[in-house]
C-alpha cells in the first residue's frame, strides 16, 4: 500500500504535487470530497478502507482530501451486521448508481466529487478522478462556530463566501474520526477492521440559490453514545445528487 500510494502521488497526479512552501504562499488547497461506500461484511472492502485512511492523511500539497466512509446495510444479512451501517447510505449509493447509469450497486465503491466512480481500491482510477476534481471550479464554503454541548447538541454556522452562480443543495455530515470492529461472522470473520471518517448522520440543511449568499445556523441532536472527541463535521454542496461543487471539513478534536 505504501509503495503504490507513493507512485500514485509522484507519477499519476503531478498537478497536485506543488511544494508545501508554494502552496502556503500562493496556491489555495482545492477541496475534493471522497465518498467510500463500504461494508464490514464485504471481504473486498478492507483495502479500500485502508486507501481512504491514507487519503485522510492529506498526501497532496494542493488538495484537501475530505473523506467519508459510508457503510451500506445490504450486506447485513450475510453473517455479520455492520454496526456503522445505515439504510440512508444505501439509498445515497443507489441514487449515484442511477446518476452513473450503473446496472447495480457494489462495494467497495469510491465516488469523487459526485462526478467519478470506481472500485474503491483502484488507485489508477483514483488518480484520474483526483486530477479531474482538482481543476473543477468550487464554491468557497465556510464552516464556523462548531461546538457540541453537554447534552450532545451540535451547533454550527455554514455560509458561502459571497454569492454563487449556481444552484445546489447543502448537506452536513457528522462522522466518527476513527472506528474499529472485531469481526466474528461473515466474509471478514476473525479480522479486526479499522475505519476513517465513518458517517453517522447526513442532513440536508438548505439550498443554495443562484446569485445569492447562503448562510445557515445548524443544530443537530447527536446520539448519546457519540463522543465529541471522536467527531468531525463535513459540509458540502451538491447539484441534484450529481457533482459536488464545494466542501469543507471541521475536526471537532482541534
Domain segments of the chain: what residues? 2-251
pLDDT, one tens digit per residue, over 90-111 is 999 999 999 999 999 999 999 9
The pLDDT score that the predictor gives to residue 254 is 54
pLDDT, one tens digit per residue, over 119-147 is 999 999 999 999 999 999 999 999 999 99
Q: What does pTM read for this prediction?
A: 0.90
User: Is the predicted pLDDT of residue 233 greater than 70, yes or no?
Assistant: yes
Domain 2-251 matching CATH 1.10.540.10: the answer reads no
User: Is the predicted pLDDT of residue 63 greater than 80, yes or no?
Assistant: yes
Task: Please give the average per-residue pLDDT across 161-165, as a whole number.
Answer: 75
Name which of 172, 170, 154 is nearest 221 in CA terms: 154
E strand or H helix at 48, and its extent? helix 45-56
The CB density around residue 225, as the number of other CB atoms within 10 Å, is 6
Confidence of residue 211 (pLDDT cuts 50, 70, 90): confident
Name which of 89, 90, 133 is nearest 115 in CA terms: 133
Task: Please give the average per-residue pLDDT across 177-185, as a whole number.
Answer: 97
Give one word for 92, left, alpha or beta, with left for phi > 0 and alpha for psi -120 to 50: alpha
Q: CA Rg, the chain, in Å?
A: 18
Amino acid at each position: 500500500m505504501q509503495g503504490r500510494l507513493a507512485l500514485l502521488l509522484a507519477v499519476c497526479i503531478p498537478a497536485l504535487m506543488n511544494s508545501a512552501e508554494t502552496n502556503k504562499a500562493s496556491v489555495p488547497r482545492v477541496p475534493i470530497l471522497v465518498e467510500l461506500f463500504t461494508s464490514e461484511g464485504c471481504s473486498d472492502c478492507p483495502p479500500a478502507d485502508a486507501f481512504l485512511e491514507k487519503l485522510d492523511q492529506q498526501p497532496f500539497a494542493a488538495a484537501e482530501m475530505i473523506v467519508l466512509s459510508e457503510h451500506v446495510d445490504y450486506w447485513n444479512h450475510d453473517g455479520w451486521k455492520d454496526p456503522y451501517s445505515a439504510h440512508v447510505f444505501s439509498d445515497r449509493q443507489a441514487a449515484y448508481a442511477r446518476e452513473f447509469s450503473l446496472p447495480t450497486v457494489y462495494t467497495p465503491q469510491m465516488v469523487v466529487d459526485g462526478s467519478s466512480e470506481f472500485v474503491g481500491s483502484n488507485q489508477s482510477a483514483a488518480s484520474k478522478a483526483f486530477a479531474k476534481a482538482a481543476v473543477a471550479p468550487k464554491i468557497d464554503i465556510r464552516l464556523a462556530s462548531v461546538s457540541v454541548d453537554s447534552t450532545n447538541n451540535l451547533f454550527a454556522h455554514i455560509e458561502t463566501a459571497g454569492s454563487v452562480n449556481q444552484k445546489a443543495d447543502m448537506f452536513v455530515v457528522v462522522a466518527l474520526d476513527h472506528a474499529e470492529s472485531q469481526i466474528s461472522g461473515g466474509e471478514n470473520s476473525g479480522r479486526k477492521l479499522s475505519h476513517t471518517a465513518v458517517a453517522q448522520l447526513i442532513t440536508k440543511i438548505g439550498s443554495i440559490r443562484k446569485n445569492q449568499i447562503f448562510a445557515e445556523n445548524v443544530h443537530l441532536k447527536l446520539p448519546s453514545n457519540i463522543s465529541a472527541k471522536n467527531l468531525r463535521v463535513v459540509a458540502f454542496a451538491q447539484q441534484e445528487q450529481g457533482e459536488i461543487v464545494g466542501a469543507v471539513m471541521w475536526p471537532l478534536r482541534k
